[in-house]
Structure 1
């Protein structure tokens, strides 16, 4: 299982999301990549107004904000092979 966080330096929301993801990672193992949108013009164009974006196995699941309990639920879905649902507050 892989989780990607699209972020950029000096983004307090991104730092908070990374902290939440790391706290969940202590309980549920997964590969984590933190990707700066500043390193790729296509990523910047796609995500610049939405960071942080948390992507689980290629599915954008959270934007702007992530709750540990919701992340755990989505990771359990991914573990069981169920399609990953976006959180209720997400539109992306």
Structure 2
């Protein structure tokens, strides 16, 4: 079973907090192993309804981890926990 967590960042065009969060998460990928999915909510009514007031939203293995700001220590902690759960088969 794979132990590489999936990180999803929901963002929108023109959102400066989104640009910052994406840059941070991409930089974390320099020394942390995860699959990054970037999802633009623009033009998708369901995603806009769900995330517009919260973006950027960062999910780790489908669990909402951060809104507005990404904290490096918290990101590392949550990513490590997801890796452990994946290795143990509980995700």
List per-residue Cα deviations over 1:3-56 (Å, max 9, x = no partner): 110000111100110111112111111111111111321000001100000011
Structure 2 unmatched ranges of 5 or more: none
Deviating 4+ runs (over 6 angstroms) = none
2:6 paired residue number: 2
Correspondence for 2:30 = 26
Could you tell me the TM-score, scaled by structure 2's length? 0.85
> Of 12, 21, 25, which residue of structure 2 is paired with 1:17?
21
Aligned Cα root-mean-square deviation (Å): 1.5
**Greater relative contact order: 1 or 2 (C-alpha under 8 angstroms, separation 6 or more)?**
2
Show the counterpart of 2:53.
49
Mapped to 2, the partners of 1:81 and 1:24 lie a distance apart of 20
- Matched residue of 1:39: which SS? coil
